[in-house]
């Protein structure tokens, strides 16, 4: 499938960064490496990887680390997300990550999921989290 709103070069960079980010995963319990990358509206890339904890539920997913890093660096508008794992097809974001991403990602934003074979499946934010609850819903009650 062709990129929705990215050039081939942008998608190539985004995928390379997500795949490279797997090397930074700290996953001594699951041994399930996940890397994530983001492309911001102004053309900056951010990465994240999963970081686990001896108290298992405390661990943080790759997507959350990437988004948190970008947001704390002042970037809140994104064009695309990529997630890379060592399975085929590539893992899709967990439910908690979908909601976390939804805060900053519009329903049309593409999420590229890379398997260890380098191939991807693309779904939009709206496909991964339909009928979602977002920050604009809170505004309706003010």
Active-site residues: which are they? 63
Instruction: Specify the residue, 2 or 22, whose C-beta has the smaller distance to ligand THU.
Output: 22
Nearest to 61 by CA among 16, 17, 91, 105: 91
Binding ligand THU (rule: CB under 6 A), the pick from 63, 66, 79, 100 is 63
Helices (H), the chain: 8-21, 62-72, 95-102, 125-128, 135-139
Question: How distant, in Å, are the alpha carbons of 2, 14, 81 from that of 48?
Answer: 24, 12, 11
Part of the chain binding ligand THU (CB under 6 A), chosen from 14-22, 61-69, 102-110, 118-126? 61-69
**How far apart are CB 8 and ligand THU at their closest, in Å?**
25
Contact between residue 117 and residue 86 where contact means Cβ atoms under 8 Å apart: no
52 binds ligand THU (CB under 6 A): yes
**How far apart are CB 30 and ligand THU at their closest, in Å?**
4
State how far the Cα of 100 lies from the Cα of 51, in Å rounded to an integer.
16
For the chain, the helix, strand and coil percentages under 3-state DSSP, each to the nearest 5: 35, 25, 45
37 binds ligand THU (CB under 6 A): no
**Which residues are known binding-site members?**
50-56, 61, 94, 97
**Which residues are known binding-site members for substrate?**
50-56
List contacts with ligand THU (CB under 6 A). 27, 30, 32, 34, 50, 52, 59, 61-63, 91, 93-94, 97
């Amino acid at each position: 499938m062709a990129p929705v709103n990215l050039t081939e070069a942008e998608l190539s960079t985004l995928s390379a960064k997500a795949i490279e980010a797997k090397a930074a995963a700290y996953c001594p319990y699951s041994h399930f490496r996940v890397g994530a990358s983001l492309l911001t509206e102004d053309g900056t890339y951010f990465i994240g990887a999963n970081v686990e904890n001896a108290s298992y539920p405390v661990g943080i997913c790759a997507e959350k680390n990437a988004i948190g890093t970008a947001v704390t660096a002042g970037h809140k508008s994104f064009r695309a997300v990529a997630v890379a794992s060592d399975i085929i097809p590539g893992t899709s974001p967990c439910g908690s990550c979908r909601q976390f991403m939804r805060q900053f990602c519009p329903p049309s934003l593409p999420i590229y999921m890379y398997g260890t074979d380098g191939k991807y499946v693309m779904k939009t934010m709206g496909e991964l989290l339909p009928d979602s609850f977002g920050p604009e819903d809170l505004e309706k009650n003010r």
